[in-house]
Amino acid sequence: MNRENKKNWLKESIEKSKEELFKLSKIGRLRFELVNLNRNKNRKFRNLGKKVYLLIEEGSIDKEPFEPEYLDLVDIFDNIDKIKHSIEDLKKHQEIEVLKAITEKNEKESEVSGKLEDMCNSEKNNLTENINEKSENK
């Protein structure tokens, strides 16, 4: 290949690369747009489904054409409620256990405090008696 042919080949290669890059970037943009449109479509379907569910619950439309999906949703909502109640029951039980533990701790502290107070009073009385005895002996 002579120098002129190399130049032409290089120019053609660069042009082809530009065209390919342009096509690839356009495909990428179109795919991105497609993903966004699908996301919006799914959101609209979800919203439509919620509206249909609410209309069935209100009795405005018959549920029969939407079975078994409607019944599946009812089961799911029931399970959600059961789990929420279980969580609340566990929280209440946990709170009760914590309150019991705090009460026991306070009772023990009160008992120890009472014993310490008795010991202090006893020591105080002993000291007072010792002082009185010493002052009487003098």
Side chain identity at 88, as an amino acid letter? E
* Cβ atoms within 10 Å, residue 62: 10
Tens digit of pLDDT for each residue in 102-119? 887 777 777 777 777 777
Which H or E run contains 19? helix 3-58
Task: Spell out the long-range contacts of 24-33 with Cβ–Cβ below 8 A and sequence spacing 24 or more.
Answer: none
The two tokens of residue 8 are 């032409």
pTM: 0.48
Tens digit of pLDDT for each residue in 23-81? 999 999 999 999 999 999 999 999 999 999 999 999 999 989 988 999 999 999 999 99
